[in-house]
Structure 1
Amino acid sequence: MLKPKKGRLLISEPSMEDSNFFRSVILLAVHNKNESVGFVLNQPTKVKVHHLIEDFPKSSFPIYIGGPVERNSLHYVHTLGEKIEGSQEILDGLYWGGDFQLVKKMVENNEVDSSNIRFFAGYSGWDEAQLLKEIRENTWITVPADKESCMKLSSNKELWSSFIKKMDAKYAIWTNLPADPFLN
Structure 2
Amino acid sequence: METLTLSNQFLIAMPGMADPLFAKSLVYICEHGEHGAMGLIVNKPSGIALAQLFEQIDLPLNDHELAALPVYFGGPVHPDRGFVLHQPAGNWQSSLMVTDELALTTSKDVLAALGEGRGPNELIVSLGYSGWEPGQLEQEIAQNAWLTVPASTDIIFSLPPEERFEAGMALLGIHSTLLSGDVGHA
Displacement, 1:27? 0.7
2 CA distance for matches of 1:155 and 1:85? 28
The answer on 1:80 being equivalent to 2:83 is no
Alignment of 1:1-184 (within 5 A): 3-52=4-53, 53-58=56-61, 59-97=67-105, 99-101=107-109, 103-112=110-119, 116-156=122-162, 158-168=163-173, 171-172=174-175, 174-175=176-177
The superposition leaves residues 94-148 of structure 1 with CA deviations (integer Å, 9 ceiling, x where unpaired) of: 11105422x23322222347x6111111010111111000000111111101322
Bigger Cα displacement from structure 2, 35-44 vs 9-18: 9-18
Describe the SS at the equivalent of 1:84: coil
CA gap 1:86/1:54 in 2 versus in 1, 3 angstroms: closer
What code does the residue aligned with 2:165 have? W
Measured after TM superposition, the shift of residue 19 of structure 1 is 1.6
TM-score (norm: length of structure 1): 0.81
Partner secondary structure for residue 71 of structure 2: strand
Q: What is the CA-CA distance between 1:34 and the residue it aligns to?
A: 1.9
Aligned partners of 2:105 and 2:24: how far apart in 1?
25
Q: Matched residues, percent identical?
A: 26
Q: Deviations over 1:30-57 (max 9, x none)?
A: 1112211010000013312342333122
Give me the whole-angstrom Cα distance separating, in 1, the residues matched to 2:104 and 2:165.
22
Output the CA distance in 2 between the equivalents of 1:64 and 1:91: 21
Alignment partner of 1:5: what SS? coil
Counterpart contact for 1:40–1:67, Cα < 8 Å: yes
SS of the counterpart of 2:90? Answer: helix
| Alpha-carbon distance in 1 for matches of 2:43, 2:17 | 15
Structure 1 partner of 2:64: none
Cα separation, 2, equivalents of 1:130 and 1:104: 32
Give yes or no for contact 2:46–2:73 (8 Å, CA) kept in 1.
yes
Stretch moving more, 117-126 or 103-112? 103-112
TM-score, normalising length: structure 2: 0.80
Instruction: Report if aligned partners of 1:63, 1:121 keep a CA contact under 8 Å in 2.
Output: yes
Give the secondary-structure state (helix, strand or coil) at the position aligned to 1:55: coil
**Stretch moving more, 104-113 or 135-144:** 104-113
Segments of structure 2 that go 5 or more residues without pairing to the other structure are: 62-66
Quick check: 145-154 or 74-83, which moved more?
A: 145-154
8 A Cα contact 2:47 2:71, kept in partner: yes
